[in-house]
């Protein structure tokens, strides 16, 4: 595929998105570092990329809002070139709640991020990807769907729907050279988790340690690259062998 356009990483002001943005930039992608509330974080990420010799801009936009998504994609194209890679990473709060207390609104809150937002992003970038002769749509899923942790039914239901979108879109858009895959991390401590000491979790991980955001970003970089050109509709799990 080669780098002909730009990469847009949603929710890249911190957490996994920030690491993914830096990693894609290190591979030569001009990167749009999207944020919603944390302008300072996104500007820091973009400035770090530029200081390291890459190209990046911090761009505001609520990825659950249709107008904002269209503006975000158009501004990315103006500043960095047409969007060739989308990383649908942004997430809102993920409350843990027993199923008997989960409201329909709780479900909608998760679907906003993992079904509505990816759909808006796809629709806003599809024409540009076709013109480029192909592209990559990369969802950040979650291993929580397979592990089915109690209390995460709304989150897991939305992550399951996201996986279904990816598999269906892979078949709809493959003929345009567009691949659609899901990178699903296990528990990867980021800023919001604070200090993590989880011996019981680690004991269940084949590699006997927590994963790092860099290890997720490496897999996203592979999926964005030409090396993954014959992989589509797949889920790549990054959990150190947490399969027990």
Residue positions annotated with a catalytic role: 155
Q: Which residue in 1, 5, 6, 11 binds ligand NAP (CB under 6 A)?
A: 11
d(CA 35, CA 41): 8
In the chain, where does DSSP find H-type helix? 15-26, 39-51, 66-80, 104-111, 117-132, 144-147, 153-173, 199-203, 213-224
- C-alpha 96/C-alpha 76 separation (Å) is 35
Q: Which stretch binds ligand NAP (CB under 6 A): 57-65, 78-86, 168-176, 223-231?
A: 57-65
**Segment contacting ligand NAP by CB under 6 A, of 21-29, 181-189, 200-208, 218-226:** 181-189
Joined together, the tokens standing for residue 163 give 């996986």
Report if residue 31 touches ligand NAP, rule: CB under 6 A.
no
Q: Which of 69, 188, 205, 236 binds ligand NAP (CB under 6 A)?
A: 188
Distances (CA, A) of 22 to 183, 191, 196: 17, 16, 23
Minimum CB distance to ligand NAP, residue 131 (Å): 25
Q: Using CB atoms within 10 Å of the CB of residue 177, give its burial: 0 to 12 exposed, 13 to 18 middle, 19+ buried.
A: middle
Q: Does 16 bind ligand NAP (CB under 6 A)?
A: yes
Q: Which is nearer to ligand NAP, 191 or 226 (CB)?
A: 191
36 near ligand NAP (CB under 6 A): yes
Select from 29, 137, 169, 187 the one that contacts ligand NAP (CB under 6 A). Answer: 187
- Closest to ligand NAP by CB, 3 vs 111, is 111
Q: How far lies 234's CA from each of 162, 175, 225, 228, in Å?
A: 12, 16, 15, 11
- 4-12, 119-127, 146-154, 222-230 -> range binding ligand NAP (CB under 6 A): 4-12
Distance CA 71, CA 149 (A): 37
**Nearest distance from C-beta of residue 103 to ligand NAP, angstroms:** 20
Q: Is 237 in the site for ligand NAP (CB under 6 A)?
A: no
Q: Any contact of residue 37 with ligand NAP (CB under 6 A)?
A: yes
Phi/psi of residue 35, each to 5°? Answer: -145, 165
* 92 near ligand NAP, rule: CB under 6 A: yes
Torsion sign (Cα): 213, 50, 14, 88: negative
Q: Does 14 bind ligand NAP (CB under 6 A)?
A: yes
- Residue 229 makes CB contacts below 8 A (sequence gap 6+) with 1, 179
| Positions 127 through 166 that interact with ligand NAP (CB under 6 A) | 140, 142, 144
Binding site for ligand NAP (CB under 6 A): 10-17, 34-38, 62-64, 89-92, 140, 142, 144, 185, 187-188, 190-192
């Amino acid at each position: 595929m080669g780098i002909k356009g730009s990469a847009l990483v949603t929710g890249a002001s911190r957490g996994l998105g920030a690491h993914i943005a830096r990693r894609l930039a290190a591979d030569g992608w001009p990167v749009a570092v999207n944020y919603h509330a944390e302008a300072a974080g996104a500007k820091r990420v973009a400035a770090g990329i530029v200081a390291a010799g890459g190209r990046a801009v911090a761009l505001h936009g609520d990825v659950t809002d249709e107008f904002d998504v269209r503006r975000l994609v158009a501004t990315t194209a103006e500043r960095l070139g047409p969007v060739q890679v989308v990383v649908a990473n942004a997430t809102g709060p993920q409350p843990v709640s027993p199923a008997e207390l989960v409201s329909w609104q709780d479900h909608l809150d998760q679907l906003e991020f993992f079904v509505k937002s990816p759909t808006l992003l796809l629709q806003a970038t599809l024409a540009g990807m076709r013109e480029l002769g192909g592209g990559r749509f990369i969802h950040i899923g979650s291993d929580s769907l397979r592990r089915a942790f109690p209390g995460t039914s709304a989150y897991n239901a939305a992550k399951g729907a996201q996986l279904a979108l990816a598999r269906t879109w892979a078949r709809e858009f493959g003929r345009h050279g567009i691949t659609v895959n899901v990178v699903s991390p296990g528990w990867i401590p980021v800023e919001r988790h604070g200090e993590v000491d989880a011996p019981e979790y680690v004991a269940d991980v084949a590699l006997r340690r927590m994963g790092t955001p860099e290890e997720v970003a490496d897999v996203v970089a592979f999926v964005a690259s030409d090396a993954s050109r014959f992989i589509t509709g797949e889920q790549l799990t990054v959990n150190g062998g947490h399969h027990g």
